[in-house]
Structure 1
């Protein structure tokens, strides 16, 4: 078997061989360790003080009722949700950047996340329900409808990646105005609920919010990894990919569906969180020195960024908590300036 520089061959049952990019593997391990440390800090600290011995006792099923409520039903699900939502956004951003072959190709930039937000707002404001199941249905439906519309408008005109981004930005801007209009026509109470959700926050996360993200990741991560080979070939261009035997339309639709579903469930869980899906894949690629979009490092980087951002959102104005979406928007704006002005190539 040919040895590829920078890769490690891992033999699997059935005669299969998995090649792992060594730098990416180390990067994923380091990022997951960092995310674990952030989760531990998030669970162990806060306005409600708890000693380390009481914390360990509570995590093992003991502790007072108040300790269990704060640690097991508030801090822990929130910390876990930050990791999972960040991973979903990081993977979604990696998929869209690969499809568009552009660092700006993320679900929030090309309007898919805005479409998901539109679906969620329609459920909250017009259907009059704020249950998680209803919002999740609305966000995923809105995301898919927007993706199909953008894809239909941008397909078949050449320069697919660039046209996809420009079309998505235009559609996203229109949907953003629709979202604002819906809020202005709502009652004060409904408008406050919708606006708080639209900021992007993990403040009210409980375990029932965590389960759907975990299920979606368990299904879509293996699917996306299975498409990693054809996806990297697509980065060479449609003509080259077709010449190498890749079913371009089928692979692109599958990747588009996976990316939209990941973004939709993330928006349903936390509300729209801007810029993270754009920044995580590029930062992961830079750290991992990957030859292309790095899927697993992008997930790990997304988990670290959102965990750190949510910890900052909790502690910045403690005991008051600000939506994590405001933190990522502020930091993401700086990152976007870096991409547009300093980034070469």
Structure 2
């Protein structure tokens, strides 16, 4: 006779509650509530608004900050409205949008490469957009079929084409069973140097007027920017920043390495490709609108990361930090040297170059440790 088997009562498994930040669900997506991040975004947005008001108010006809804010809210007389809305607001708005686009592009590339030096203006993305734009400025529709294609596309599309082509070349050259951050930086620096030489050659063979126009553009300038410069960057941000925010969970997984990301079920190569497309698109359109404004894409994500206290550069906070940094740098460029107005790219380079040296020195100490 078979021995009866006594079945133990099924145990009820109760999931232990893990302490953490509350999550907010939005349909299929969820957002983690981080009060510190919200505070940083609100503070930098207020700083951006104050910087824009100061920048708009300074000029041959000074306008107080309160009057500028009144005009922006629909008040003010006809003269103030013309000066603020038609003459000065497009410049500051272009600077804010360009800074935001560069910062988001920098946050993406630094996270993908897991290296704070992997900024679009260091690893060649900006140089590719600049080379294509200078090619169009100097040679126009000449130089065969390529010049005709770029002339037909226009400056923003030419910069986008150059940035995408450069990013593709860097990605393929850096690929060795995956993309390592250090290899990506080294390949990017080499491509950046090569493109810089091409730009210098274009300036040598250009006519005087074309060379002067290209040289001014290469320094990164917001001078004489109008609403036609605001629209392309605004559209790029409206389309590409939501895509970057949707892919933010992929950035979090990639920051732990490719093997960990694959273990979480993420298609690493496909996700990295789409993220690079988003980053290059933002950087290229920003470069086409205001020239290659140096070091914003490098510095802004690192500042935002330290303010938020995150493990990687946050996209939303980086966007507001980059916008505020560019507007404040433009204010300094316009007012700090009397009647002499400098391109905003010179001020951002002066502010960003010491930080680059600090990063290099810190990485050197970490390598020796």
Identify the TM-score tier after normalising by the shorter chain.
Answer: over 0.9
CA offsets, 1:151-180, max 9 Å, x none?
111112556211111101000100000000
Aligned partner of 2:164 among 144, 159, 164 = 144
Instruction: Provide TM-score, normalisation by structure 1.
Output: 0.92
1:50 and 2:63 are equivalent in the alignment: yes
Structure 1 residue runs without a partner (length 5+): none
- Runs of 4+ off more than 4 Å: 1-4, 51-59, 128-133, 342-345
Structure 1 residues 193 and 132 mapped into 2: Cα distance closer, same or farther (>3 Å)?
farther
| Contact residue 47 and residue 318 of structure 1 kept, 8 A | no
Question: Tell me, what secondary structure is at the counterpart of 1:203?
Answer: coil
Residue 56 of structure 1: how far off its partner (Å): 6.2
Question: Tell me, what secondary structure is at the counterpart of 1:18?
Answer: strand
Aligned partner of 2:236 among 204, 213, 216 = 216
Question: Tell me, what secondary structure is at the counterpart of 2:121?
Answer: coil
Aligned partner of 2:224 among 181, 204, 216 = 204
CA distance in 1, matches of 2:321, 2:92: 15
Instruction: Give 1 or 2 for the bigger CA radius of gyration.
Output: 2
1:260 and 2:280 are equivalent in the alignment: yes
| Contact residue 92 and residue 107 of structure 1 kept, 8 A | yes
Question: Tell me, what secondary structure is at the counterpart of 2:221?
Answer: coil
| Contact residue 171 and residue 179 of structure 2 kept, 8 A | no
Question: Tell me, what secondary structure is at the counterpart of 1:292?
Answer: coil
| Contact residue 47 and residue 319 of structure 1 kept, 8 A | no
Q: Which residue of 2 aligns with 1:81?
A: 94
Question: Tell me, what secondary structure is at the counterpart of 1:17?
Answer: strand
CA distance in 2, matches of 1:19, 1:43: 36
Residue 46 of structure 1: how far off its partner (Å): 2.4
Structure 1 residues 159 and 122 mapped into 2: Cα distance closer, same or farther (>3 Å)?
closer
Instruction: Provide TM-score, normalisation by structure 2.
Output: 0.86
Which stretch of the first structure deviates more once superposed, 171-180 or 73-82? 73-82
CA distance in 1, matches of 2:248, 2:234: 21
CA offsets, 1:6-55, max 9 Å, x none?
x342243x475321322112111111111111111112222322356865
Mapping of 1:141-290 within 5 angstroms? Answer: 141-157=161-177, 160-290=180-310
Aligned partner of 2:352 among 295, 314, 332 = 332
CA offsets, 1:119-164, max 9 Å, x none?
1011111116999971101110000000011111111255621111
The alignment of Structure 1 onto Structure 2 pairs a total of residues equal to 342
Question: Tell me, what secondary structure is at the counterpart of 1:321?
Answer: coil
Structure 1 residues 63 and 232 mapped into 2: Cα distance closer, same or farther (>3 Å)?
same
Q: Which residue of 2 aligns with 1:123?
A: 136
RMSD: 2.4
Structure 2 residue runs without a partner (length 5+): 1-14, 143-149
| Contact residue 273 and residue 325 of structure 1 kept, 8 A | yes
Structure 1 residues 4 and 225 mapped into 2: Cα distance closer, same or farther (>3 Å)?
farther
Aligned partner of 2:23 among 3, 6, 9 = 9
